[in-house]
Amino acid sequence: MLPARKFYGRNFMPDFFNDFFGNMTLDGSNAKSPAVNVVEDDKRYTLEVAAPGMSKDDVKVHLNRDGNLVIEFEKKCECQEEKKGKYIRKEFSCSRFHQTLILPDNVDREEIKANVENGILFVDLPKLQNAKIEEEKRVIEVK
């Protein structure tokens, strides 16, 4: 699974694969982006995305027109206090995250499921069976 990002002026592929598959930490990662684990077994990929304080109502997961997985978080939190005069300090916060992932061809896009549990978003990406992969291949006639 690759994050769909636009990189200008550098070739991101070697660094991305070295960091993502070779190291346990991403040195160049943005501290504001949630941590993402990708687990693979014979039948599925599972994404584990850190979502502290998020509920299912704060999370949107969908496939875009290109068949890529889009994960969005948005949490608006306002400090609710009784007004006892003018504010000396009042804090509002807003957290927003948007990530698009290019899925491998062997993901069954019809069976993707997601749930939030204990501050972690789990996205289950079942793999297509070999017969179904062959059915989905389309031969383009060359003229």
Single pTM value for the model? 0.63
Nearest to 72 by CA among 84, 61, 80: 61
pLDDT > 80? residue 128: yes
pLDDT > 50? residue 23: no
| pLDDT at site 55 | 87
Average pLDDT of the chain, as a whole number: 75
Residues 6+ apart with CB under 8 A from 111: 126
| pLDDT at site 77 | 64
- pLDDT tens figures, 63-87: 999 999 999 988 776 655 555 667 6
Domains, the chain, in order of start with CATH, read: 28-136 (2.60.40.790)
